[in-house]
Structure formats: structure tokens, C-alpha cells
A and B are shown apart, each in its own frame.
Chain A
Amino acid sequence: MTMDVRFELLMPEFLVAGLAFLVFTLDFFIRPVRKDILAWVSAAGLAVIIAFTVPYLLNEHDSLFDGLYRVDSYALFFKVLSMGIGIAVILGSLHFVNQRLTHPGEYYAIIIVSVLAMMMMAASGELLTAYLSLELLSFCLYILSGFALQDRRSNEASVKYVLLGAFSSGLLLYGIVLLYGALGTTHFAEMATALEGAGSVEGRLLVGLALVVAGLGFKLAAVPFHMWAPDVYQGAPMPITAYIAVGSKAAAFALVLRLFYEGLAPAYDQWQMLIAGMAALTMIFGNVVAIVQTNVKRMLAYSSVGQVGFLLMGIAALSPLASNGLMVHLVGYSLTNFAVFFAITAFYNATGKDDIPDFAGLAGRSPFLAAAITIGLFSLAGLPFLAGFVTKFYLFSAAAAEDLLWLAGVAMFASLISLYYYLQLIRQMYIEKAPEDEGGSVAVATPAVLTAVIGAMALGVVLLGVYPDPVMAAIEDATASLLGTDNAWITLGAAGQ
């Protein structure tokens, strides 16, 4: 056991933590009307840390604390993604916070702490470290979802989220205990070795596996563990809804992908059908229930439940292609959801409404917002030349290549269903007339920063759709390090046997 830990590799994490404290502290010294500065400090700080981290950690591959904490291209990819998500949420929140929330300093600082938690989730090489990072993220999100103190829905959302989140944490922890009991280790790499060595699979291992899947399923909002999602999405402050939809999912998938590919891959036969079934159930259920929603946030909540089903295919297929597919779909999903959510935030900011019929005639009032929402929804439905088309094609191809063509077929069918309810919103915006009364023909005022964020996200959706090469290069690198030399199990094509 060597103890010469290279602490300097944790520099990005230290910097992000430092930034959070800086924002907390600065809050004391800034007059209430100038709180915008905090947002800019937070966003700029994260941007600087990204610029520092990428060259600093490029080509670094190390395992700190005997494998508790990984520094590799995979973690790097998700670190950059997490910080990028953080920047987008902070800038997207700016106007919303000014208008509707108190305590901006804490709001931004907690977002930064949650970014740190997301970075740690992707880097965890061991179950308890992963659990602690996940809890750190969850705690931040519990607070953030209840941040609109005066709003009863927000309070309700927070309480629901805390109760169900705590329950799922319990399940997860108990599952970890059982896995530890069965395998004698919580390190992913050692778990794989123990699984390979074990001739037969014990009952407690299966129960542990099921509990871990259930616990993580809660965090991912996969069916049948999705019940909290619509209420929390609807109640939480709008930018936090976007953050939960995108950030917490990206981080949870970063964790799940590493756990299943590194730790549980040898027990593939035991969990593949479980995950595939859960994926199929999730995409069908999420998309079917979304049809009857009348509130945009609830509709998007169910739609993102459906998206989790697509992403789970990347776990079930267990191959380098599937890993690539999952990550690229995650990137596309993040950009797309941000574009849609922030455009809806802008609409909500100006009108205070978020039911689907409220969007009638938006194309005439605010062509930009309508176009951004349409681009986002078409991308979610997987239409060309937007991100969703390429990422779904990639992910579904990967599933087809591993004998999961049926699952890919279910996914395509689910996409078709989703197109139907996305078109309902698009129909409101483009075909229906704006209501005559209450200023229905007035343009929706969108602040410049929010416009820029929405525009950037929509542009990203298009760019990823027509030129995915640069992102794919980073993703292939990340997959290569995930399936590195000490994980010959998948690279040898065991999944394809």
C-alpha cells in the first residue's frame, strides 16, 4: 500500500470548493442591488477552472487513495461537463434569481458545491466514495429545490424530494452493504475480480445488486422509481428544474456507467435483462404519461423520465460503442434540455404562466423563444439535423450491435410517441392564435444574458447534430480510459459473446 498520493491532481476539486467559499464570503460584502456580481464571479470562476483543468489533467491517469478516487480521461470529461452545466445554470438563473428568489449568494454557492459533488461522482472508484458524493449532490439539490421560500409548491417539492431521496439513499446503502458482504470489497476493480472468481452467484449478491439498482434508479428517476420527478420538477424554481433534469442525471449516469462497466461487468448475465427491462419500461411509461400533461414542466419531467430510458440502454448494451453512445446522448440531452428549459424560464419570467395553452401564438410574439423551444423539442424527438438525431442513432446502433435490437425498436417507438406531445406544444406556439386579451400580442421580454444562454444552447444542439466529431473525440478518449488495460473484460468483447 503506497501512500505517495499525488494531491496536486485534485487541484480542480480544490479550486471549485474554494470558489464556493469565495462566493459565500463575497456575499457578505456586496450590497443587495449588486448581487449580480456573484453570478458573474461564479460563472467566470468555473470557466477559468475549466480552462485550467483541461490542459492540467489531459493524459493524467492515476488512482488516488488506492483506487478510491480516479483521475482519468473519463473523470475529466465529466468534470468539464459538470462545470459547463454549472455555468449554464448560473447564467440562466441570473434573471430568475433577481426577480423571484432571495439569498442569491447562497444560491450560487450551493450550485458550485453541487458541481463539485458531480465531479466527484464521476471520479469515484469505490462504492462508499460514490455514495458520499451522491449524497453531497442530493443535499444541494434538496436545498435548491426549496429555494423559493414563499412558494408553497417549491416547499412541497423540497420535502418530497428529501423524503424520497432519503429513502432511496437507504436502499442504496443497504445494497452496498450486501454487495460488500458478498464480494468482500467496495472497490470497483476488485469487485470485478471477485465476481469473475466467484463460480456461482449468491442470493445476497443479487439482492444487493437489485437494491443498488433501485437506489440509483430513484436518483435517475427511472420507472418504477420516478414518482418524485414530476412534482419536484413542477415545484422547484425553474432553473433548478433544468439543473435537476440535466445535472443530476449527467452525474448519476457518470457514476452508474463506471460502476457497471468497471465493477459489475462480469455479472453481466445477472443484470442485463434487469436494466434493459427497466429501460424499456422507463421510456414507454415516461413518454405515454407525458401525453396527458397540461403543464409544460410536468410534460418535460415525464419526457426526461423517458430520456433516462434511452440512456439506460447504454448501460444494458455494455460495449465501448454503448459507452460512447450514452455519453454523447447525455451531452446532446444536456444542451437540448437547457435550450428548452431556459426558453420556458424566459417565458415564465415574463408571464408567470407555464401551462401548455399559455404558449399559444408564441411564434408571433417571440419568434426566437418559439424557435429555441422547437429546436429543442425536435432534437429530443430525434429529428435531423439536430443533436438528438445523431446521438440517438449512435446509442441505438450500439444497442443493436449487442443483440438489443428489440430495445432499440422500443426506443424508436417511444420517440415516436414523444413526437406527438412535443408537437402539441409546437402547435400551440405556431398554429394557434395568441389570446386577444391580457397583452397576448406583446413580445415576451427576454433579458440579454438569458437570450445569449438560450442561443448558445440551441446553437450547440445544431452543431452537435451536424458536426459531432470534436465531442466524439473526447468521448472516445473517455471510454478508452474507462475500459482501460485493467478492464480487458469488455474490450475483449465479452458482452458480444
Chain B
Amino acid sequence: MSSMESVLLFALIAVPFFGALVMVFFPADRHSLIHWYTRVIAFAGLVMAVWLFVTFDTDGDLSKYTVDFEWLPALGIRYSLGISGITTPLVLLNAIIFMAGVLVSWNVTHRPKDFFIWLTLLVAGVYGVFLATDLFFLFFFYELAVVPMYLLIGVWGSSTDFTKQPAVEIPGYGGGGKYDRPKEYGAMKLMLYLVAGSVLVWVAILAVWAEARSVTGMESFSIAALSQVEYSENFQRIFYPFFMVGFGVLAGLWPFHTWSPDGHVAAPTAVSMLHAGVLMKLGAFGILAVGMVILPEGASDWAPVLIGLGTVNVLYGAVSALGQRDLKYVIGYSSVSHMGYVLMGLGTLEVIGLNGAVFQMFSHGIMTGLFFAMVGIIYERTHLRDITVLEGLGKRMGVVGAFLAVAGLTSLGLPGFSSFVAELLVFIGTFRTYPILGVLAVIGAAITAVYILRLMAKVFFGPISDRWADLEDAKPIEVAVGAALVGILLLWGLYPFRIVEIIDSGVQPLLEGMGIA
């Protein structure tokens, strides 16, 4: 750990991790101290992530970015970190969303200390998954990122309760049926699904480790070392699905996606942002950086299934979003739909498709962060998320409406925003491999346009009800967050070359290692 870069990698995880532990000793009633402390931690991470991203040399030697300690020699576990062209943008994404999430959480006044401790631990776990190059620690951080969710949602989340609403018939949204989803339900469902997924991942990790041990006598959890081992085709075919489905659960892979809308809806704003924005990407990242890298033959055998399920994700998520009454459920299902593009991109097993998948992870992360931040503001002001009741908010909340419109337009793939480029790459990759699925994916994008435009029309335009007369628009801090996220979407939409170049420098060697490119 001699170079500056390796110290940075170490600090990226250590600062939030130990920062959270130190926070335990803060007095619980010093709210502003706690808020500012967390902002400093988030900002430190952001500075480091930006620096890593800006100075990343696509032709350079990555060995300077190495942290490596012996940890548990009996099993060959080492604490080792590293980055690649794939992880650098994702680390940046995590830093941006954490910063944004902390800033829009200015209104958390219920036990803020506990809230920020868990949130910061979660973020440390996410950094860890992206940076770890040892499977034990990747799994360690993966679980660390999942654990805090239960309490974050259960304590600070909000329930969906339509039982008290008047039963009004709204064209296109059905009647005001009784619908009740307590936050505890969402929290428990999310937790059990994700841990069940991680059980599959764990089985696969141990299987790979034990197989490598018996084939070569090597005891190591290093991803690079494990990927060098020749596993039998049968073994790969059996255990790749464990990685694909196990990580896929977190990525929202259909039909294991149902935790995702329920969980996102129940979660508090910052947690929804982090969860839909970054955590779901951990799943896709796991399939790519662990499953495909270690078991390439299994990956190519199962690629048609992955891309097929990804297409289902796109269509199913979009159609489900059409029928939702809860504003957050619309966004939740839209996340399921957009993660479908990522999974399709991964399933192409081809340079352009993979580039698109990783870029879509980044782009969707920013976009959905913006979505949830704005929906959070609306909910905070109105205490309502029911589309059938919210009307004409644009008159009072013009800024929020504008930001939400940008997120929506990005979501439906308008040129000029980064998702257009990302989805285009995925479409090209898919048309080159499975043209029919490519057509279906484009149809999915069209459905997206329908539900987004309908949502905007209903909630922001039209006559405003008297009860919203005193509604307050975004506060300066919220405007700043929204503007920054919009800026990022625009920047990578108009000038995607640099980030794609960086991603490509990670995708190329990965595919070469798999023996494909």
C-alpha cells in the first residue's frame, strides 16, 4: 500500500466504515452535528471518487491501485482491493448518490444518529463490493450493504395506506380500492429476498473455492486466481446459475424482483435513492465481475436465459408501472424495467452490450436518484403519494416538476441525456445477438414513455386543488441536489465518450479473460 492510489482505495471504505463506528459515540440529540458530520464523510468519499475517476488512465497499469493484506491464511483469505474501468464509474456513482442522499435527508429528525450510522455503514459496504478483489470480502461487504436495510426501512420508512382514501374512479388508474402495505412488510420482504439471494451466492462461492482447491490444490478466494482455474463444463453449468440468480435477486431479475418495488416504496428517500440507485447495481455488478469472470463457459451457456429474463424485466416492469397508483411504486417498477436493460446488456456477452450495461448502471443510478429525491420532496410536503389525488402540483412546485420531468425524459431515453446513449449501446448489442429481443426492448422503452408522460400530466399539469395552496417548492439545498444530478445526466448525455472509454477499458480485458473478445 505504497502508492497514493492504493491509500485512496483503502480510505474509500475505511472513512465511512470507521466514520459510522465513531458516530456511535456522538450525543444523540446533537442533530446538526450529526448531519454535518455525515455530510463531511460523504463529501470526502465524493472527492476521492472524483479524483480516482478523473485521473483514471485507460491505458495505464492498474497495479498501483492495489491494497493487499493477509487476513485468514488457513482459508487463503486476503484483504485485497483494486479497481478497473468498470468499477471506477460505479464508485463515483455511489459517492454521488450518497452525497445527494445525505443532503436531501436534512429533514430526518427522528433518531438521526442511528439513521446516519446505518446509512453510512451501508455505503461503506457498497464501496467494498465494488473494490474488493477477494471473494470473501466481496461477500462480506455485500452482506454489510444489505443488513442495514431492515432497520432503515422499518424505522424511518413509510407505509402505503390507501384504505383511508376516498374511492374515486380515476380514468386509467381504476377505482380507489383498499390497499395497505405496512413498511414492516416491505422491510422484511426485502431483507429475506436479498439474504436468500446471498445464500445462493455463498453456495456458489464455496463451490468454486472447494473445486479450485481440489483441482489445483490452491487455497484462495482471489477472484483473479479463481478465474484462472479450469472448471469442468458441467460444474460451470451447475453453479453459474447460483451466481446469476443469487446476485440477480439484488439486481431485480424477474421473477425475483417483487421485493424491489415494495422495498423502495417503504424506504425513506435517501435509502430509496441508494437502494435503487446503487444497491441494485451491486447485483448486476456481481453477475458480471464474479459470475462471468470465474465461470465464463457457464455464463455463455446461460446467456440466452439472462438476456431473455432481462427482456421480461423491461416489459413486465414497464407494464406494471402503468397500473400503479402510488407515485413511488411507479418509480419502483420503472427501476425493475430499467435494470432489465442492464441484464440484457450483460446477456449479450459482447463488447458494446456490456459497455451499455455498465453505462446504464451509472446512468440509471443517477436518474433514479433524482426521481426518488423529487418524489421524496413531494411526499414530505403533501404526505401523499397517491396519483389519483395529486393534481396540478406544477403550479406550486415548478422546480420539483422540472427536475422530475428531466428524470422522466431521461428514463424514456430522450437523446441528450445519458440513458439514451446507454440504452442505445444495449440495443445495438442486443440487435447483434438476439434481434427479436432487441425489438421487444424498444417496445419497452415506448411503454416507458406512456407511463412517464401520463404521470407527469396527471400530477403536475391540470387544475390544482385548493388544498395545495400553501405548498412549498424545493428548498435551495434540494435545488442544488437536483441541479447537480441533472447536470451529470446532461454531461454524460452530450459527452459520453470519456466515460464509455473508461468502461470499455474494463470490459475489453474482462471479455478477453473469458476468452470471448
Contacts and interface: CB of A to CB of B under 8 A. Distances in A.
Interface string B170-204: 00000000000000100010011001100100110
Interface string B101-121: 000000000000000000000
B4 interface: no
A413 B196 CA distance: 8
A362 to B, nearest CB: 13
Q: Which of A431, A472, A476 has the most CB of B within 10 A?
A: A431
Interface string A412-427: 1101100110010011
A431 B206 CA distance: 35
B207 A400 contact: yes
A472 B70 CA distance: 13
B143 A383 contact: yes
B153 to A, nearest CB: 10
B40 interface: no
Interface in A406-456: 408-409, 412-413, 415-416, 419-420, 423, 426-427, 430-431
B72 A472 contact: yes
A408 B206 contact: yes
Contacts of B209: 397, 400-401
Contacts of B72: 390, 394, 468-469, 472
B192 A397 contact: no
B213 A419 contact: no
Nearest to A431: B154
B450 interface: no
B151 interface: yes
Given A321-B75, A384-B140, A415 B210 contact: no
Nearest to B121: A385
B150 A476 contact: no
Interface residues of B, number: 31
Interface string A164-200: 0000000000000000000000000000000000000
B397 interface: no
A425 to B, nearest CB: 12
B206 A397 contact: yes
Contacts of A405: 203, 206-207, 210
B140 A385 contact: yes
B383 to A, nearest CB: 20
Interface in B71-100: 71-72, 74-75
Contacts of B154: 427, 430-431
A310 interface: no
Interface residues of A, number: 35
A397 B196 contact: no
Contacts of A397: 75, 206, 209-210
Contacts of B195: 416, 419
A400 B199 CA distance: 14
A472 B74 CA distance: 9
A431 B188 contact: no
B155 interface: yes
A268 interface: no
A396 B147 CA distance: 20
B144 interface: yes
A385 B144 contact: yes
A378 interface: yes
B184 A400 contact: no
Contacts of A423: 150, 188, 191
B184 A412 contact: no
B279 to A, nearest CB: 16
Contacts of B202: 396, 412
B213 A426 contact: no
A419 B206 contact: no
A389 interface: yes
B242 to A, nearest CB: 9
Interface in A317-339: 321, 324
B427 interface: no
B451 interface: no
A468 B147 CA distance: 21
A489 interface: no
A389 B143 contact: yes
A420 B188 CA distance: 8
A393 interface: yes
A420 B192 CA distance: 7
A98 B196 CA distance: 45
Contacts of A384: 140-141, 143-144, 147
Given A413-B199, A416-B196, A472-B72, A396 B150 contact: no
B316 interface: no
A112 to B, nearest CB: 34
A476 B74 CA distance: 9
B460 interface: no
Interface in B16-32: 28
Contact of B151 (A367, A383, A403, A430): A430
Interface in B128-160: 136, 139-141, 143-144, 147, 150-151, 154-155
Given A385-B144, A420-B188, 18 more contacts: A367-B28, A378-B147, A383-B147, A384-B141, A385-B140, A390-B72, A400-B209, A401-B213, A412-B199, A412-B203, A416-B192, A419-B195, A426-B150, A426-B151, A430-B151, A430-B154, A431-B184, A469-B71
7 contacts: A385-B140, A393-B75, A405-B210, A412-B203, A431-B151, A472-B72, A476-B74
Interface of B: 28, 71-72, 74-75, 136, 139-141, 143-144, 147, 150-151, 154-155, 184, 188, 191-192, 195-196, 199, 202-203, 206-207, 209-210, 213-214
Sort A-B residue pairs by CB-CB distance and give the 6 closest, nearest first.
A400-B206, A400-B210, A412-B199, A431-B154, A384-B140, A401-B210
